[in-house]
Structure 1
Amino acid sequence: MIMYGASGHGKVILEILESNNDTDIRVWDDAAKPDMWEYPVEKPLPPGSVMPGKMVISIGVNATRKRVAERFANTVEFGTAIHADAYISKRATVDEGTVVMAGVRINPDTRVGKHCIVNTCASIDHDCVLADFVHISPNATLSGDVHVGEGTHIGSGASVIQGIRIGKWCTIGAGAAVVRDIPDYSTAVGVPAKVIKTKHV
C-alpha cells in the first residue's frame, strides 16, 4: 500500500496497515521529510506513472485530501485502511480511500463515502450516510440516520442526535451536541450546538 502523506496522521495509518500484516508499505510526501520509523519517505511518482500498488491518502485536512485524490484520480487505484480492532457491520459499506482507526464501531446500513476518516473510537450508528472527504474525529458519536455532507469535519467528542442533517464543508466543534440540522459551510459549536459563522462561497 502507498501512503501519501508523512505526518502524525500518517503514523496512525501506517500502524493500521501493520495491524493487517501489510508487508509492502511505501510512504510518499511532496516535502523532504525524515524516515517514518523504518520506512523511508519517498517523493511521489507523477500522475500517469505505473503505480506500485493501491494508495490511501494519509492527510487529515479534508480539502487537501480532496485535491490529492483529484490529482491521482485517473492513475491510481485507491485502497482502504481499516484497523484490525475496528468493527464494521457486514451490512455497512466503506468506499475507496477511506481510513478507519482502532476502536471504531460502524453499525448496519451505514454508508461511508470516499476518502473519509473515521478516527479512533468514533461511533457511527445505523443508517448514517457520510459523503466523501468527511472526517469524524476521535470519540465522536453519530446516532442513527445522521447524514453528513461532503468535506465536513466533526470534532472530537461531538455528539449528533438521530435524524440530523449536517451540510457540506461544515465544522462541528469538539464536544458539541448537535440537536438541529446544520446548513452548508457552517461552523457550529457548543451545547446545544449553535452556528457561529457561515462561509460565503
Structure 2
Amino acid sequence: MNIYGASGHAKVVLDIAKSINLEIAEVYDDNAALKEVAGFRIQQPQKGVKISNVVITIGNNAIRKRIAQEKVLTLAACLVHPSVQVGGAVSIGEGTVLMPNVVVNNSAKIGKNCILNTASVIEHDCELGDFVHLSPNAALAGGVSVGEGTHIGANAVVIPCVKIGKWAVVGAGAVILRDIPDYAVVVGNPGKIIKYGKRIHG
C-alpha cells in the first residue's frame, strides 16, 4: 500500500498498517520541504505517473477530494484497525480509514475516502457520503445521513434519522436535533447554524 500525504493523520494510518502487518511501499507528499514521517522517507510524486493502492492521508476533506480528482491514483481498499467493530451488511468505500475502537453497526453505508476517527460510532442504517470526516468520539444514532465532505467534530452527537447536507461542519460537542442544510456551520447544544461555509465544486 502507498500513502499520499505526510500529515499527522498519516502517522495514525501508518500505525494501523503496522497493526495488521500491511507493508507500506512509499509515502508521498507534494511538499518538497518534507523529508520524513514516522520513520518513512517521503517521496514527491512524478507528474502523470500513476500511483496504485493508495490511501490519501490528509485530514482536510476538501484537499483530500482535490488530490483524489487531480492525481493519477487508484485507491486502496478500506483500512481498518483490529479493534474496530463492524456489523453485518455494512459497506465501506475504497480509501476509507477506520481508526481504533470505531463502531459501525448493521446496514451502515460508508463512502470513499472517509475518515472515521478514534472511537466514533456509526449506528445502524446510517449513510455517509464520500470524503466525510468523523472526529474522535463523534456519535451518529440510527438512520442518520451525512452528505459528501461534511466534518463532524469531536464528541458531537446526532439523534436518529437526521439528515446532514454536504460540506457542512458540525462543531465539537454539538448536539444535532434537526436536519442541517448544505455548507452550514453548526455549533452548540442544541446545534444552531452560525454561518455558511465555502461551496466546494467538482
Deviation at 1:44, TM superposition (A): 1.4
CA deviations 1:154-201 (Å, max 9, x no partner) are 000000000100001000000000001011110000000011112475
- Please, what TM-score do these two structures have when normalized by structure 1? 0.94
Provide the aligned C-alpha RMSD in A.
Answer: 1.4
CA deviations 1:41-98 (Å, max 9, x no partner) are 1111333x253x400000000000000011236x424332211111112311100111
Residue 139 of structure 1 is matched in structure 2 by 137
Q: After alignment, is 145-154 or 13-22 more displaced?
A: 13-22
2-side partners of 1:60 and 1:200: how far apart? 17
Residue 65 of structure 2 is matched in structure 1 by 66
Identity of aligned residues (%): 45
2-side partners of 1:130 and 1:37: how far apart? 30
Residue 39 of structure 2 is matched in structure 1 by 38
Aligned length: 198
2-side partners of 1:28 and 1:90: how far apart? 34
Distance 1:199 1:39, change over 3 A: closer
CA deviations 1:117-168 (Å, max 9, x no partner) are 0000000100000001100100000000000001000000000000100001
What is the one-letter code of the residue matched to 2:99?
Answer: M
How do 1:180-199 and structure 2 match up within 5 A? Answer: 180-199=178-197
Residue 24 of structure 1 is matched in structure 2 by 24
Residue 164 of structure 2 is matched in structure 1 by 166
Residue 15 of structure 1 is matched in structure 2 by 15
* Structure 1, unaligned runs of 5 or more: none
Q: After alignment, is 172-181 or 35-44 more displaced?
A: 35-44
Structure with greater strand percent: 2
Asked if the contact 2:3–2:24 (Cα under 8 Å) also holds between the matched residues in 1, the reply is no
Q: After alignment, is 13-22 or 33-42 more displaced?
A: 33-42
1-side partners of 2:102 and 2:84: how far apart? 5
How do 1:73-92 and structure 2 match up within 5 A? Answer: 75-92=73-90
2-side partners of 1:138 and 1:21: how far apart? 24
* Structure 2, unaligned runs of 5 or more: none
What is the one-letter code of the residue matched to 2:138?
Answer: A
How do 1:94-133 and structure 2 match up within 5 A? Answer: 94-133=92-131
1-side partners of 2:172 and 2:15: how far apart? 25
Distance 1:77 1:115, change over 3 A: closer
Provide the secondary structure at the position in 2 that maps to 1:54: strand
Provide the secondary structure at the position in 2 that maps to 1:40: strand
